[in-house]
Amino acid sequence: MQHALLKIEAAGYQASDLACVGITNQRESIVTWDKLTGEPLHPAILWSDARTSSTVHELVEKANGDANVLVPLTGLPLNTYFTAVKLRWLLDHVPAVAQARDQGRLLFGTMDSWIIYNLTGGAGKGIVATDVTNASRTMLMNIHTLQWSQEAISFFGFEGIDLPKLQSSSHSFGSICTQDGYDGVPITGCLGDQQAAMVGQKCFNPGDAKSTFGTGCFMLFNTGDRPVMDAQGLLSTVAYQFGDDKAYALEGSVAVAGSSLNWLRDNLRVVRDAQQVNELASQVEDCGGAYFVTAFAGLFAPYWREDARGTICGLTQFTRLEHLCRATLEAVCYQTKAILDVMNNVSGQPLRILKVDGGMSNSDLCMQIQADVLGIEVDRPLMRESTALGAAIAAGLGAGIWSSVHDLQKVNQQGRTIFEAKISQDKRDQMYQGWQKAVQSAYGWSLPTPVAATC
């Protein structure tokens, strides 16, 4: 908090100038803590932690082999990704967590709950709450009613555990009580990070979509006021809830985006940084028939192939480093197209424009390739801290600074860059057919370990 206060003062403001505070966070990371002392019971388990794979296997067995048993209720499959699986693992493997549960001392939540609890006073008086976007990633919330699901709670064996209070994304979560200059400032907004980026990009209409090009690539597609449950491998999630105004989204993820540039730098050592990747890629008009399927640990939506591995196809004696750099950028764009094609099909809402942010969106070349591959406009804002902006918008709505999302039309509009497709549909189809062929070549490289037969 002191660090944040110093940055505010450096910008010419004081804590007293703050009207409200919004929170955004990694959605599936989990903290458990003691109700009496306010101290953590175990280090936080982050969203990408896969130590719970054995727990997932046990839960799938419990569901008679159906990993999608809770999808109709929560929109989510049984996977190491989500919060409830991590809590089940903690109860099974960490005695301190299990003991706290037995003694009625256990509190748990995603990172937003932990932050709100501490900002509002911690042990004895801190508020334990979350918003519906974070709750929609726990596998414990009914995605239709936006309430905790007793059926899901029973499935995981969480009866008797206190869950955070469920709130909308723009709500009074309490006031800061930290004795450091922020005392009394209300917390009026809370969103999971990818939903915050969606709000920051103002994807308020069905058919609006955003893609955050970071280490991975996360795409959310607004499906309106009802979830799409037949998602063909995509996730159904809550986009936001501002008072009575709510929206759902389809989500798909590309495991490897910006990290592929790091791979060229750190593993192959053929470039010094991401900027050089762009410089080299811009020196050729296309990838020269080469394709790079960056499936370093399998492929996510819509392929869901754990056996896929990184594969470079179509090399000839004329292939140069410049072609490989361009193929690396193209790989992210092709995977984005694969996901958004499914989103278009299952949502019934035509994709009109893709709004982008994140580190890789700084590359004009990458965004032009994306527009060419999709055949639609790609819209990049000048101010690309969309996640922080989304949290601020949620807080402003909760504090009454704006009455509705319709008041936000002029926010972050200046200086936007629109990338338009510059290739023909025939060329686009030809490029994508090559990618699909390359993806097929990436399958089957990581085979499952044989299981010994038992009598």
Instruction: Flag the least confident range among 4-13, 264-273, 380-389, 414-423.
Output: 4-13
Please spell the DSSP secondary structure of 122-136, one letter per residue: STTT---EEEHHHHT
**Band of residue 447 on the pLDDT scale cut at 50, 70, 90:** low
Tokens coding 453: 């037969």
Residue indicated by tokens 């501002």: 242
Give tens-digit pLDDT for 103-134.
999 999 999 999 999 999 999 899 999 999 99
196 assigned to some structural domain: no
Q: 150, 184, 218 — which closes off a domain? A: 184
Residues 207 and 174 in one domain: no
Residues 229 and 167 in one domain: no
Residues 278 and 323 in one domain: yes
pLDDT value at residue 431: 97
Written as one letter, the residue type at 158 is F
Query: CA distances (Å), 263 to each of 11, 272, 442, in order?
Result: 36, 11, 18
Give tens-digit pLDDT for 175-230.
999 877 778 999 999 999 999 999 999 999 988 999 999 888 999 999 999 999 87
pLDDT value at residue 191: 98
Give tens-digit pLDDT for 292-308.
999 997 888 888 887 89
Structure-derived torsion over alpha carbons of residues 125, 132, 47, 115, reported in degrees to the nearest 10: -20
Q: What is the CATH number of the domain that holds 142?
A: 3.30.420.40
Query: What are the start-end ranges of the H helices in 125-257?
Result: 132-135, 150-156, 193-200
Summarize the confidence of residues 306-330 as an average pLDDT. 95
pLDDT value at residue 180: 72
Give which of 449, 446, 440 is closest to 306, Cα–Cα.
Answer: 446
**Band of residue 369 on the pLDDT scale cut at 50, 70, 90:** very high
Give tens-digit pLDDT for 156-175.
999 999 999 999 999 999 99
Residue 17 belongs to what domain range? 2-184
Residues 252 and 124 in one domain: no
Percent of the chain at pLDDT > 90 equals: 80
Tokens coding 367: 């965004």
Number of H helices, E strands in the chain: 15, 18
Tokens coding 290: 């080469």
93 assigned to some structural domain: yes
Residues 58 and 206 in one domain: no
**Better-predicted residue by pLDDT, 50 or 416:** 416
Summarize the confidence of residues 308-327 as an average pLDDT. 96
Residues 116 and 233 in one domain: no
Residues 168 and 218 in one domain: no
As a whole number of angstroms, the distance between CA 327 and CA 310 comes to 13
Evaluate if residue 356 carries a pLDDT over 80.
Answer: yes
119 assigned to some structural domain: yes
pLDDT value at residue 188: 98
Residues 254 and 360 in one domain: yes
167 assigned to some structural domain: yes
As a whole number of angstroms, the distance between CA 117 and CA 100 comes to 18
Summarize the confidence of residues 378-396 as an average pLDDT. 96
Q: Give yes or no for a contact between 175 and 186, defined as CB atoms under 8 angstroms apart.
A: yes
Residues 293 and 370 in one domain: yes
Q: What is the DSSP letter of 272?
A: S
Q: How many domains does the chain have?
A: 2
Residues 160 and 210 in one domain: no
Give tens-digit pLDDT for 334-354.
999 999 999 988 887 778 899
Residues 403 and 268 in one domain: yes
Give which of 117, 64, 108 is closest to 84, Cα–Cα.
Answer: 108
196 φ, ψ (degrees, to nearest 5): -60, -40
**Band of residue 451 on the pLDDT scale cut at 50, 70, 90:** very low
Tokens coding 310: 């990184």
Residues 145 and 238 in one domain: no
Question: Between helices 83-93 and 95-102, what is the axis angle to 10°?
Answer: 100
Question: Between helices 364-374 and 425-442, what is the axis angle to 10°?
Answer: 100
Give tens-digit pLDDT for 217-270.
999 999 999 999 877 889 999 999 999 899 999 999 898 899 999 999 999 999
Percent of the chain at pLDDT > 70 equals: 98
303 assigned to some structural domain: yes
Q: Give yes or no for a contact between 163 and 111, defined as CB atoms under 8 angstroms apart.
A: no
Q: 121, 155, 184 — which closes off a domain? A: 184
Evaluate if residue 154 carries a pLDDT over 80.
Answer: yes
As a whole number of angstroms, the distance between CA 391 and CA 31 comes to 21
451 assigned to some structural domain: no
195 assigned to some structural domain: no
Summarize the confidence of residues 81-87 as an average pLDDT. 95
393 assigned to some structural domain: yes
Is residue 308 within a helix (H) or strand (E), and if so which, with residue range? none
